[in-house]
Amino acid sequence: MPTVLIVVIGIVVVGAVAFLLLRNRNQTSLPGLEPRPKVAVPSEGLRDRLGKTRRALGDRLNGLLGKAAIDSGFWDDLEESLIEADMGVAGASRVVDGVRKRSPGSGHDARVALNDELLALFAGKDRSLQLHSKPAVVLVVGVNGAGKTTTIAKLASILKDSGKSVLLGSADTFRAAADTQLRTWADRVGVPVVGGGGSTDPASVAFDAYEAAKARNADVLIIDTAGRLQAKTNLMNELSKVARILVREAGAIEEVLLVVDGTAGQNALAQAKAFSETVGVTGLVLTKLDGSARGGVAVAVEQDLNIPVKFIGVGEGVEHLMAFDPTKFVDALIGE
């Protein structure tokens, strides 16, 4: 075979191999082709994020539980410490009674018992997102300033990273800037938004968003709603209408997530009761816990209303919306 022909064949083969390698590299680098790895927040990181509650509760507990023996005033002081962390009177009393029945002989034994009793309060609840339909409808509700819009974007990012296609419905027609804010966040996490095209009827926007989600074969539709005070009857009736439209079209709303500002303390209970009566809340998202000394409200809400906390917000970043893990949460609050 002539030398020139051999050289030509060699060049063709090398070129073909180079082309295939380059094409494969480009394909695997396309955004969205593969789910990005989830950002895991270790227990130590959560301790830092819950620093205000940990310090407010932990400083007092360390003084109590650091004692070699338990004196007569220990139990009242322990209950008061838990109440000040917004665990509520009922939750705090139940925890203290449980610890007391175990007859701890030292502060260390009491800390172990306290850890166990707090975990027992959170036990037995399904904290997973129910997303069985296609599109699965998630309705997000809450009062003004609780962090609904940012929570929606962060949740959309989590779902997208898990491989699901997500569409957002901008049904907050009350605030002029609401649609813009949602779209800004949606652009950051790379998910589409359907608005109302100027419609002022949130139920109509919800309907349009559901139709768009079906047409695009989206896995999950997340509906944003206007923030409203639980005492405003007309606004709550409007929210109820949105829910009815979605149930009519989808057959069911898989999740109704109530976003609660963690700094609201016991007022979160009143909010949760009102919204649950109106639209049947299935899960709670407690936000701004990194800026609050009232992280114990998670205990109070679950005990009083039997609604599971499904997510907690502990910072501004997308990765700071975390699935609620009772073991890590309790350790972050009272762990040594």
Q: CATH topology for 136-334?
A: Rossmann fold (3.40.50)
Question: Which pLDDT band, with edges at 50, 70 and 90, does 317 fall under?
Answer: confident
Residue (of 332, 335, 336) closest to 52 by Cα position: 332
Per-residue model confidence (pLDDT) at position 223: 95
Q: Give the model's pLDDT for residue 157.
A: 94
Q: CATH homologous superfamily for 53-122?
A: SRP54, nucleotide-binding domain (1.20.120.140)
Range picked from 162-166, 290-294, 331-335 for highest mean pLDDT: 162-166
- Whole-number pLDDT of residue 306: 85
Tokens at 172, concatenated: 């907050």
pLDDT at 24: 38
pLDDT of residue 21: 37
Rounded to 10°, the helix 233-250/267-279 angle is: 50
Quick: pLDDT tens for 267-285.
777 778 888 888 889 999 9
The mean-pLDDT minimum among 84-98, 256-270, 306-320 falls in 256-270
- pLDDT of 5 above 60: no
Tell me which residue of 287, 261, 317, 289 sits closest to 52, measured CA to CA.
289
pLDDT of residue 31: 29
Query: pLDDT digits over 172-220, tens only?
Result: 887 778 888 889 999 999 999 998 666 678 999 999 999 999 999 999 9
Judged against a pLDDT cut of 50, whether residue 43 lies above it is answered with no
Q: Check residue 221 and give its pLDDT.
A: 97
State the average pLDDT over residues 306-311.
Answer: 91
Q: CATH 3.40.50.300 in the chain, residues?
A: 136-334
Fill in the amino acid letter for 90. A
**Sequence ranges of the chain with CATH classification 1.20.120.140:** 53-122
Contact 33, 27 (CB under 8 A): yes
pLDDT at 216: 96
Say if residue 22's pLDDT is above 50: no
Q: What is the pLDDT of residues 156-178, one digit of tens each?
A: 999 999 999 999 999 988 777 88
Q: How far apart (Å, rounded) are the C-alpha atoms in residues 123 and 308? A: 10
The edge-to-edge listing of strands for the beta sheet with 321-323 is 193-194, 166-171, 220-225, 136-142, 255-261, 283-287, 309-313, 321-323
Q: Tell me the whole-structure pTM to 2 decimals.
A: 0.80
Reported as a pLDDT band with limits 50, 70 and 90, residue 25 is: very low
The CA–CA distances, whole Å, from 194 to 152, 204, 218 equal 14, 12, 12
